[in-house]
Amino acid sequence: MTTGTIGVFDSGVGGLSVLHHIRRMLPYTRLIYVADSAHVPYGDKSAHYIEQRAIALSRFLVGQGADAIVIACNTATAAAAATLRRDFKCPIIGMEPAVKPAVAATKIGVVGVLATIGTLESARFAALLERYAGNVKIVTQGCPGLVEQVESGNLHGIRTRQLVERYTTPLLERGADTLILGCTHYPFLSNLIRDVAGEQVILIDTGEAVARHLQHRITAELPYRAETQATEVFFSSGDCDQARHTISALWGSTVEVQPLPFDFT
């Protein structure tokens, strides 16, 4: 069966980690992905700035026929999800650091969070801790620079490894046996993080849970649309040549990337 058109956006290419899960769970769905790479990273921007970008990108996606929108970015979800749900009639699916499953997974009661500064300082993250942490100790680490490494396609280089070591070591030294990947860019660094942190450390990624929630929402709320073709369409607000190279590598096949229209950049 087909399930309409899903629009997905992120500050850059990180949301592709979520798009992979969406494609696997919804194989007959048309997907539109926007990499807002001219404004990456969102983590060092103000909440108002991110909110305005989220509104513009959502307007674009709805104009392209999106029946539902996935905010494939923890920082943008914290800054803009409430506004988008107020202003748009279609289902809006957001991200959040997976505190609840991480608390369930830890064996010694210490969970580390790797995330952007914007996510860690958000009221939404504070509410998650209050709701789910309980007696589990949560230790956090902002990770400036990691998003940029993924954006450049540098997943295994010396500089990327140095950053991963810098950010994971304090969490491990404080006893964390479970690490939340609190940014959609970070799952692309899972192998490197596991190599640095050790195989015994549990990594928690929320992309699959988000795709499952999306599947439930659209099955319940969207009409059946037999005419929809299962395709992926990619847009970028940044350099399309760079985006094509990086997205093709992360997506696992060669793709074309179209420029985001000027009115939405």
Looking at the annotation, which residues are catalytic?
73, 183
Q: How far is CA 191 from the centre of its chain?
A: 17
- Quote the DSSP letter at residue 41: -
Question: What tokens were used for 115?
Answer: 């995330």
- Asked if 43 and 106 touch (Cβ cutoff 8 Å), the reply is no
Q: Which long-range contacts (CB under 8 A, 24 or more apart) does 223-227 make?
A: 223/4, 224/1, 224/2, 224/3, 225/2, 225/3, 225/4, 225/67, 226/1, 226/2, 227/2
Residue 134: DSSP 8-state: T
Distance CA 224, CA 244 (A): 32
- CA dist 78 and 89 (Å) reads 19
CB 166 within 8 A of CB 142: no
> Position 67: which residue type?
D
d(CA 265, CA 154): 25
